[in-house]
A and B are shown apart, each in its own frame.
Chain A
Amino acid sequence: MVQIRIHGRGGQGVVTAAELLASSAFLDGLYAQAFPSFGVERSGAPIQSFVRLDKQPIITREQIYHPDILIIQDDSLLAEEEVLAGINKKSILIINSQSNPAELEKLLKNKINRNNIYSSPATAIALELLGKNLVNTVILGSFAQATELISIKSLMAAIADKFAGKGTEIINKNKDAVLKAYQYGKKA
């Protein structure tokens, strides 16, 4: 079982990110579970959501205290103590940040090895292709590239399904942004 914790701020689509990630894994043939931290969501407040992936039905329902993978949608969240709770040297970090893995390793006081840190220029890509700083889908492109736990094809399908009501323009813009984040990671 792989346990993923997503950190973001109210309004950044933290819960949607969990749903999309889990839906993609489901489309790839896995069992998946996604749930929010059930807080009262206030715009800008730190929010968490949780994803589990496995080859067999998932039974546990506790929140994720020891994540294998952390997704951080906004690097200002690193100031929050709870964001890094329960990580170990093997934990993988996917973070929306301008800093490179070596700089982030230093910032995190070596709590995560730089080889396990994936820095995603999600904000830059979102501003360029979506026209606003909405990174929840974009960072999943980096996730797909870094972890290979979900296929880019399923991620595209999950996005098309989730945003079906928002029209093809929004879907296509999100797909382009996700693909750019995915390809950026490949080059890096």
Chain B
Amino acid sequence: MPLNNKTQFIEGSRAISLTVANIRPDVVSAYPITPQTHIVEDLAQMKAGGKADFEYLRAESEFAAASIVVGAAAAGSRVYSATSSQGLILMMEVLYNAAGLRLPLVMTVANRAVGAPINIWNDHSDAMAMRDAGWLMLFAENHQEAVDFHVIAYKLAESHNLPVAINVDGFVLTHSYENVIIPGRQEIKKYLPAYKPAPGTYLNPQKPITLGGFFTPEHYWLEKKKLDEDIKRAASDLSRAYRDWKKILPSPISIKPKFDNGLIEYCGPNKPKTILIAMGSVAGTIKETLKTEKDTGLLKIRSFRPFPAQDLRRIIKNCPRIAVLEKAISAGAYGPLYSELIGSLPGYRGISSNHIIGLGGRDVSVATIKKIINSTGKAGLKFW
């Protein structure tokens, strides 16, 4: 296990499992599903080989795995799980409870399409199914962001009592190899001290409390409103947490963004004719495309929850054309990201278009992105 910050050349899944091990959770529980499998197999192997001190609880399903980490977090433990696709959907009831109970779960979602038809490859259909569950949701562009987000996620989860999902594109990130810096235990500990929940906030036989009580109509809505406010409030802390972490673990980048507050990143000209908006690994291919598209910029959303509406508005408002590229649909409506973005842009007068890309692992090429850029003069929804 690496204890220094030397650059390594490893698989994305291994980068995540090493980082999680160095974060030192108390309890890990998961049920294997493609393409998350390598992450949890690796953690199980570390445990079996005596290289990790967390409890690894095997579960009979994703529903059980999620319930196990909810129980462990309710008892005051630092917990970790990971899943994909149908597994995430099977967890859904527990996911809402984790947020409502204000438990600091951290989970990797190796993004994969949802059946039927059955398909094991990457898109964001699974993530979009949990967007209303009350979790913070981050999307990684590359291995380094995936690694960084896991550390930052625990910082946020434990300081705000909120669950965090780190979305990494299945196969594209989980099964690829690239240069990555894995933070050691000491570096992580400096930033993320051992988890000590406040007394009276977790289940303890010596000091019994109730978690998840019954809320009548007069109180239920207030609790939900508070969840909404707290998630929104986490935005500024996410910004700070990102900045602080990158001071501890700087990493090389080839294109310096014009704007980067941790939640969003803008790369491109000062006065773009078109702005593309996207999340996850496709942002890299878009950046490559923009090397020869000088009038177009990329707005990458790292934080889907909290949704950085104000920041997006500031960058987009005067751009004549915006195009949302997303790997999910909401059948019968616009894509989920597009709908949210437009909802955040009252009075936007430019041309907005919505491009559904990469469904079920369909490759998103530079050539496709160029075609999308050329089509942004026309509003509406298109499939590529």
Among B172, B287, B365, the most chain A Cβ lie within 10 Å of the Cβ of: B365
**Residues on the A chain within 8 Å of B177, using CB:** 18-19, 22-23, 32-35
Interface-facing stretch out of A57-65, A88-96, A166-174:
A57-65
Q: Is A26 an interface residue (CB 8 A)?
A: yes
Nearest-CB residue, chain B, relative to A58 = B178
Q: Is A185 an interface residue (CB 8 A)?
A: no
Q: Would you call the interface of chain B mostly helix, strand, loop, or mixed?
A: loop
B178 touches A33 (CB 8 A): yes
B365 touches A62 (CB 8 A): yes
**Residues on the A chain within 8 Å of B171, using CB:** 35-36, 38
State in angstroms the CA–CA spacing of A31 and B363 once bound together. 22
State in angstroms the CA–CA spacing of A22 and B366 once bound together. 22
If A59-B288, A60-B284 touch, whether A32 touches B365 (CB-CB below 8 Å) is no
State in angstroms the CA–CA spacing of A36 and B121 once bound together. 12
Interface size class of A (residues with CB under 8 A): 20 to 34
Question: A91 → chain B, closest Cβ, in Å?
Answer: 18
State in angstroms the CA–CA spacing of A26 and B179 once bound together. 8
Nearest-CB residue, chain B, relative to A40 = B120
Nearest-CB residue, chain B, relative to A26 = B9
State in angstroms the CA–CA spacing of A26 and B367 once bound together. 28
**Interface hits, B94-134 → A, CB 8 Å:** 120-121
A56 touches B254 (CB 8 A): yes
If A23-B9, A32-B9, A59-B254 touch, whether A38 touches B175 (CB-CB below 8 Å) is yes
**Residues on the B chain within 8 Å of A62, using CB:** 285, 288, 363-366
Q: Is B281 an interface residue (CB 8 A)?
A: yes
Nearest-CB residue, chain B, relative to A33 = B178
Nearest-CB residue, chain A, relative to B142 = A59
Tell me the A residues contacting B by CB distance below 8 Å: 18-19, 22-23, 26-27, 31-36, 38, 40, 56-63, 65
Not counting A32-B177, A35-B177, a sample of 19 additional A-B residue pairs whose C-beta atoms are within 8 angstroms of each other reads: A18-B177, A23-B9, A26-B9, A31-B178, A35-B172, A35-B176, A38-B121, A38-B361, A56-B252, A57-B253, A58-B254, A60-B287, A60-B366, A61-B172, A61-B281, A61-B282, A62-B288, A62-B363, A62-B366
